[in-house]
Structure 1
Amino acid sequence: MLRSLSIQNFALIEQLQVSFDSGLITITGETGAGKSLLLGALGLLLGKRADINSVKDNTQKCFIEGVFDIKKYNLVSFFQQEELDYEDQTIIRREILPSGKSRAFVNDTPVTLQSLTSLGTRLIDIHSQHQTLEITTNDFQFEVLDALAGADREIESYKRGLQLLKEKKKEVKSLEASQEEFTKEYDYNAFLLKELEEAKLKVGELQELEEQYEQLNNIEEIQERLSGSLAIVSSEEIGVSDQLNTIKNNILKIESYSSPLKELSQRIQSLYIELDDIGETLLRELEKLEADPEQLEKTSQRLQLLNNLLVKHSVSKIEELMVLTEELREKVSKTESLTEDIELLKKEIYKTESKLDEVATKIHKKRNKALPQLVKELEEILKELGMANATFQASLELQEKYLSNGKEVLEFLFSANKGGAYGQLKKVASGGELSRIMIAIKSILSRYTQLPTIIFDEIDTGVSGEIAHKMADLMKDMSQKMQVFSITHLPQIAAKGQNHYKVYKEDVQNTTITQLKLLSREERIKEIAEMIGGKNISDSALTHAKSLLGS
């Protein structure tokens, strides 16, 4: 519940700090005194978007802070999910800087507006007049019914299953689209793959083939030049080898005469050995050579095949062709296996739908059992609120379609008068009737759920007399289990509050500011008397006020 509220530099509020207790808290004040400002400040605290125009002095920071006692709300898991430090006494702070930038903090940790809004809905339910129309929506009606049905676990299970079903159907749709696309290209891809696989590509093959082709294509010239070179090296008497041998022997005989000659002799010896090895290599290479027109043709054809594939696929290396082969193999394989994948996924969808149907049936049974109870309790409360002839007709019908919270359509019809025709709430109920129906629903919800603090903003509009007393009693009963704020113009409701605050304006140093004050016993008597009879308080109004307060 809301323990305290601090507001600084917001609209007509210069500085305000107030504490709240549990139970029923009533807030009164003249029209225009600033009750809406309190709701606006709370709205900011709970995640509404900030507006720089709501800042009183735009050269100073606007500051709103609320302290909440949340130990009864089972919010530890929410704080863990949002990666926030949990405290039984949680502090929420909202700031609007002069630049217009807004910041939000939970227990001094910065948070996004999304997180703040999500937390805010778990802490305070602000119910203003225009929100009464919520009860005419199917979603809200299901929310109320489910509170009585106690089907939270099944509904959560259903929602998880529905999300899974949507994902699987989306996946099937994507696979079917891919299948259609791949099928169009399948024949061409399969042809390209076969062509590349038959080529039996090897890394480095192109370079080897090019060398082999050059050798076979120029074998006569190679033989001729190798033979001539070998003759120069090894011819008797005039060959380089014989002549170098002569030089070697000559120097060998005089090498002992000096170190330079000995070094020269060693160099000639090394040269002679190298030349001898060159001669042997020339001979080996020459002996290996043999004209092979058939092999030359094969090599030429293989080179042409590989070069054609390189050009066809716009690549420059055999390795790139091999990568392309793998890609085509994957595409062809995927096309061939897509049908199997789709069928397997459809079986999973069928199983998911079967499980969803089971859960939806359990939800339906619980809702069907709770629906008469909801109608009965609503009609009983409305009788107390002066709607003795108000009745409802409600029914649940299972559908084939999977809806967001089950497979049912809820028809919730209302008649205010005996013998009157039933119709949808938004069409047949007046504003005053909707207000009373809403507070009846909130009263029921307070019995079955751990509601947050609730704020009723003039929900009593159009109500007076004994009905106002009954409405006040309902709020009083609700406040036994939760903190209830009621912003009201009715003295009957104002008097029921365990604590009574007054919103008022005052002029301070030529500036109008809004204040909020906790009234004493005597101040409450005066305030309620004014609500009964106006500014000129009569003795009868004072007596009536005292009687309302039980004195």
Structure 2
Amino acid sequence: MISHLTVKDFAIINEMDVDFYHGLNIITGETGAGKSIVIEAVSLALGSRADTAFVRSGKEKAIIQLVIEDCSEKAANLLNENDIPVDEHQIVIKREISATGKSVCRVNNQIVSVSFLNSLCKHLADIHGQYDHQSLLDPELHINLLDLYHRSEILPVKELVEKLYAEYKELTSKLHTLLSNAAEYQRKRDFMSFELKEIKEASLIPGEDAELESQLLILQNSERIYSNLNAIYTSVYEESPSVLENLSKAHHKLQEIATFSSAVSALLSDFNDVYYKLEDICHEVRTIRDDITFSEEELDTAISRIDLINKLKLKYGGSVDKILEYQTKLEEDLSVIENIDEAKEKYSHEISVYEEQLQLACMRLSKLRKEAAIEFEDKLKEQLLELSFNSAEFKIDFSEQPSGYTANGIDLVEFLISTNKGEPLKPLAKIASGGEMSRIMLAFKKIIGDYDNIPTMIFDEIDAGISGVAASVVGKKLKEIAQKHQIICITHLPQITACGQYNFKIVKNSDEESTYTTVVPLSEQEKVEEIARLLGGLNITEATIKSAQDLIAASR
């Protein structure tokens, strides 16, 4: 649950700290005091889109911080999976919005993305504005609401359907691709066989083109290479006196004087290294020279081989590796063509097996949904009766998907309702009154809320369009839901305010420089006075005080 909210420099809020509690927390205030701003701040902390317009005029940034106590197991697991520390199931969420447009999200002092914050907060709180009941008007979402009911039985079967459908879809896609490509493959078969034969006959070896280029360069310049190496060897080793002979004499003279000078001794050591290194080089020159041969036939063979490889490169790829990759692809494609009947039979058999399993799973899922729907209908009618729909009828209508199998099974589900005696059942979208939709949504939340494991529900003036007895009924229903959930509700109705276990008031103040809003907790006496204000406006009398006390007594 949300145990603490801190807001600073957000819209008309200068600085605000408020503690919330488990149970029914009611927030009231005069029109224009900024009641919805508080919910907007909480919504931002829970991951909604940031807007620089929320930064208080003249300030650098707005800061919203939420402290969540006793977070759900799913939320704790999500944090652990992302290496975010959780201290005794407490989460601290901090959102900063800069006037320049930058937004920073932190969870337990670790920076996270907005998308992660959204994923996390789905397990922490559920916010409902006066127009959020529009989700009930979308028939595509009805099946998800039904699946939450009896979820322990329905969801495992639903997951199985999703898995089988994915396999079934992949196999049918492969078969479709095979059949659509078969005719094209048959037309290309002879040409592909010719290409494969041409590449195979070349017997290409990876990297041989580079070796051939090097070999060809040597063969084309063999006479010059031999001549230069021979001249080097002769001058260093064979001429009289040769370079090595002269170096040997110099070496002998250094030896004679090495004992007289440490510098000469060091020079002798370096000289020795040069002498023996040159001797090794000379032997290597002779070896390379003697290996140089010129063969007209070998040159022609190398040129022909390079020409062949270059032609294949132009046709099948820019390198030997690319040609060999193309060869492998040709072999695979020809193998498919040669075994296409076998592949069709294999895919068709596998599709038949998966379709049979998918059909059984879909029928099982549909059966579970229809069983859950009967119980759901009865429970929702009970809730509607408690919410003053004395003649309401509710029905969950089932039909089959026109497209056949889907990842969600074969069912189409739509909620039908009649709120007045004698009226036919109609889709929820046909319900005219916003006040009726608010109460209907509350009935759904009472049932589904016991299953979705979201600890906090936040309602922003969902009581719009209702009054009188209906308002008292909504207040009692909120109090009932608050037995298992933390409820934070903004309202303008005294009947709902009277049901609050913890009451707060939005107060707007002004000074010479600005206007600012804050939230203050109300004592029991202040709660009575606030309800009296909601009943009688500015003129609080003994009668309105008495009426406020009666409302509180009735709510208890």
What range is the shorter-chain TM-score in? 0.7 to 0.9
Task: Tell me the equivalent position of 1:313.
Answer: 312
Q: Contact 1:416/1:429 (CA < 8 Å) preserved in 2?
A: no
- Output one character per residue of 1:300-331: Cα deviation in whole Å (capped at 9) or x when no partner: 99889757634633569xx9886566334312
In the TM superposition, what whole-angstrom CA distance separates every residue of 1:151-198 from its partner, at most 9, and x where no partner exists? 122223333444455555556666667767766654323213223434
2:425 to 393, 401, 422: 422
1:455 aligns with 2:454: no
Tell me the distance in 2 between the aligned counterparts of 1:170 and 1:113.
Answer: 36
Q: Deviations over 1:20-77 (max 9, x none)?
A: 1100111111111101111111111011121111100454221110000234444333
How big is the shift at 1:503?
A: 0.7
2:539 match: secondary structure: coil
Letter in 2 for 1:107: N
C-alpha distance in 1 between matches for 2:498 and 2:400? 47
- CA 1:119/1:307 → structure 2, altered by over 3 Å: closer, same or farther? closer
Name the SS for the 2:410 alignment partner: strand
**Quick one: structure 1 residues 144 and 209, their matched pair in 2 at CA, closer, same or farther if it must change by over 3 Å?**
closer
Q: Quote the offset at 1:387 in angstroms.
A: 1.6
Change in Cα spacing, 1:95 to 1:304, as seen in structure 2 (3 Å) is closer
8 Å Cα contact 2:192/2:334 also seen in 1: no
Aligned to 2:504: 501
Partners in 2 of 1:448 and 1:206 — Cα distance? 74
- Distance verdict in 2 for CA 1:52–1:210, change over 3 Å: closer
Question: Aligned in 2, Cα 1:58/1:206: closer, same or farther, shift over 3 Å?
Answer: same
Give the alignment partner of residue 194 of structure 1, picking from 192, 197, 204.
197
1:274 match: none
| C-alpha separation in 2, matches of 1:7 and 1:379 | 41
> Secondary structure in 1 aligned to 2:405?
strand
Distance (whole Å) between structure 2 residues aligned to residue 188 and residue 539 of structure 1? 101
2:65 paired with 1:62:
no
Partner amino acid, structure 2, of 1:114? S
Aligned counterparts of 2:141 and 2:200: Cα–Cα separation in 1: 64
Q: C-alpha separation between the residues in 1 aligned to 2:513 and 2:398? A: 62
After TM superposition, the structure 1 = structure 2 runs for residues 263-278 of structure 1, keeping only pairs within 5 Å, are: none
Between the aligned partners of 2:497 and 2:393, the Cα distance in structure 1 is 30
- 2:144 is aligned to 143
Tell me the equivalent position of 1:34: 34
Counterpart-to-counterpart distance in 1, 2:40 and 2:448: 25
Per the alignment, do residues 328 and 180 of structure 1 end up closer, same or farther by CA in structure 2, a change over 3 Å counting? farther
Confirm or deny: 8 A CA contact 1:22 1:482 kept in the other structure. yes
- Measure the CA separation in 1 of the matches of 2:493 and 2:83: 44
Count of aligned pairs: 469
Instruction: Find 1:394's aligned residue among 372, 393, 396.
Output: 396
CA contact (8 A) 2:199 2:312 kept: no
Q: Secondary structure at the match of 1:516?
A: strand
Report Cα offsets for 1:434-480 as digits up to 9, x if no partner: 11110011011133342331011111122222222221111111111
Deviation at residue 133 of structure 1 after TM alignment = 1.4
Q: Which amino acid letter does the alignment assign opposite residue 499 of structure 2? A: K
Aligned match of 1:93: 94
Q: For 2:149, what is the secondary structure of its paired residue? A: helix
Answer yes or no: is the 8 Å Cα contact 2:72–2:454 preserved in 1. Answer: no
Secondary structure (helix, strand or coil) at the match of 1:188 reads: helix
Opposite residue 115 of structure 2, the aligned amino acid is Q
Q: Is the 8 A contact 1:189 1:328 kept in 2?
A: no
Over residues 329-352 of structure 1, what are the superposed CA-to-partner deviations in whole Å (9 max), with x where a residue is unaligned? Answer: 312211123346676555545444
| RMSD between superposed Cα atoms in Å | 3.5
Q: How far apart are the structure 2 equivalents of 1:324 and 1:528?
A: 82
Q: 1:189 to 1:514 in 2, by over 3 A?
A: same
2:78 is equivalent to residue 78 of structure 1: yes
The percent identity for this pair of structures is 33
Provide the TM-score with structure 2 as the length reference. 0.75
Q: What runs of 5+ residues in structure 1 fail to find an aligned partner? A: 215-280, 290-295
Counterpart residue type for residue 482 of structure 1: H
Q: Counterpart of 2:16 in 1: which secondary structure?
A: strand
Q: Which residue in the other structure is 2:3 paired with?
A: 3
CA distance in 2, matches of 1:16, 1:416: 43
Matches within 5 A, 1:284-363: 306=305, 309-310=308-309, 312-314=311-313, 323=321, 326-338=324-336, 339=340, 344=346, 347-363=349-365
SS at match of 1:420: coil
